[in-house]
Amino acid sequence: MGADEQTIEPPAERAAETPGTAATAAGATTAAAAAASLHKYPIAPGYRVNVRSGPGTNYRIVRTLPLGMKVPIYCQKPGERVTGPYGTSNLWCNIANGQFISDTYVYTGSDGYVAPRCD
C-alpha cells in the first residue's frame, strides 16, 4: 500500500475499538428487542377505529384501524371522555408517534393505565 492510501475499516470493526460505542450499540439492540416484544392489545371486535392525532375526537383522523387489529400501547394520557364497547373513559392510548385511540375501544383487561403516562 502506498503512503497516500489508507485502510477504512467497516463500521462494526471501528465500533469495537471505540470506547463506549459497543455499549451504545448493545443499548440500541436492547431497545429494538423491547419494541419488538411489546405487548399488542386487541381492538374491540367488529369495530374499525379512527386513529386521532391527539387524545380527543376534535383531533384530526390520521388513519382508521381495520377489523381485528391489535395495537401496541406506548403510553397513555387523559383526554376527551368517550363511551365505547369497553365502557366510558377519558384515557387515550398512544399507538404510534402522534397517533391516539380511545382506551374504550381497546381490550386491555384494565380500567386504568397499562402503560406509562405520556409526557
| Ranges of each domain in the chain | 1-37, 40-105
Element (H, E) at 72: strand 70-72
Tens-place pLDDT, residues 24-72: 444 444 444 455 568 999 999 999 999 999 999 999 999 999 999 999 9
Instruction: Name the band, by pLDDT with cuts 50, 70 and 90, for residue 119.
Output: confident
- CA 113/CA 62 separation, integer angstroms: 23
The predicted structure's pLDDT at residue 19:
46
Phi, psi of 23 (to 5 degrees): -65, -40
Angle at 86 between CA 105 and CA 106, to 5 degrees: 30
- CA 17/CA 48 separation, integer angstroms: 51
The rounded percent of the chain whose pLDDT value lies above 90 is 66
The predicted structure's pLDDT at residue 18:
42
Better-scored residue on pLDDT, 101 or 34: 101
Which segment, 9-13, 22-26, 93-97, is predicted with the most confidence on average? 93-97
Q: Is 7 helix (H, G, I), strand (E, B) or coil?
A: coil
Element (H, E) at 84: strand 75-84
Q: Judge contact between 96 and 54, C-beta under 8 A.
A: no
